[in-house]
């Protein structure tokens, strides 16, 4: 079975975005994550996004604006799968359009494919919450930014059943950021 990896930039107090949806807080450590993401993408062939994150990504990644980004060629070459009940299609600029699926069962089927590498889930907090509760997330990878927002959009589900995690790796970056990787506890 293919692994599903959730990756998110978060503040030290666990927010994935500010109250206004702003993501500026991760600029302070973003430069350190390129090398890690290039290595990660060697073992990934599918990018999973929710509809909201897809809209943010499609406005940048498959455009000329991303040309200076180190991971752009690898990211744009990934198979794109968008989980949405509202989108009819998922164009990706000049690249292969994405596949739109409607529910978690479709994600479960993609994970069960025999051929293929890992699947990366970027952002897509609501989708992450659903996949985590369904037991479909194999790794939670957080890029912790050294800032406290005090309020915003939480990266973690509220309510529901607790999910125990085991630490795989913790690695500090310059400028106070930290990469932490967890897997669900056995």
Q: How far is it, in rounded angstroms, from Cα 175 to Cα 104? A: 37
pLDDT on residue 32: 60
Give residue-wise pLDDT tens across range 9-52: 999 999 988 888 777 766 666 666 677 889 999 999 999 999 99
Q: How far is it, in rounded angstroms, from Cα 39 to Cα 97? A: 24
Region 175-184 average pLDDT: 91
Q: How far is it, in rounded angstroms, from Cα 168 to Cα 60? A: 31
**pTM score of the predicted model:** 0.93
CATH topology of domain 4-184: Dihydrofolate Reductase, subunit A (3.40.430)
């Amino acid at each position: 079975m293919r692994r599903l990896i959730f990756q998110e930039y978060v503040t030290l107090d666990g927010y994935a975005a500010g109250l206004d949806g702003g993501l500026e807080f991760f600029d302070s450590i973003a430069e350190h994550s390129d090398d890690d993401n290039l290595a990660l993408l060697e073992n990934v062939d599918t990018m999973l996004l929710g509809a909201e994150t897809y809209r943010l990504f499609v406005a940048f990644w498959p455009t000329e604006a991303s040309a200076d980004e180190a991971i752009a060629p690898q990211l744009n070459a990934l198979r794109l799968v968008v989980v949405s009940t509202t989108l009819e299609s998922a164009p990706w600029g000049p690249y292969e359009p994405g596949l739109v699926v409607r529910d978690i069962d479709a994600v479960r089927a993609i994970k069960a494919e025999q051929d293929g590498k890992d699947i990366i889930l970027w952002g897509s907090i609501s989708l992450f919450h659903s996949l985590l509760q369904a037991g479909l997330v194999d790794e939670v990878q957080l890029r912790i930014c050294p800032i406290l927002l005090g309020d915003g959009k939480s990266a973690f589900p509220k309510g529901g059943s607790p999910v125990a995690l085991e630490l795989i790796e913790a690695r500090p970056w310059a400028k106070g950021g930290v990469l932490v990787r967890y897997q669900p506890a056995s």
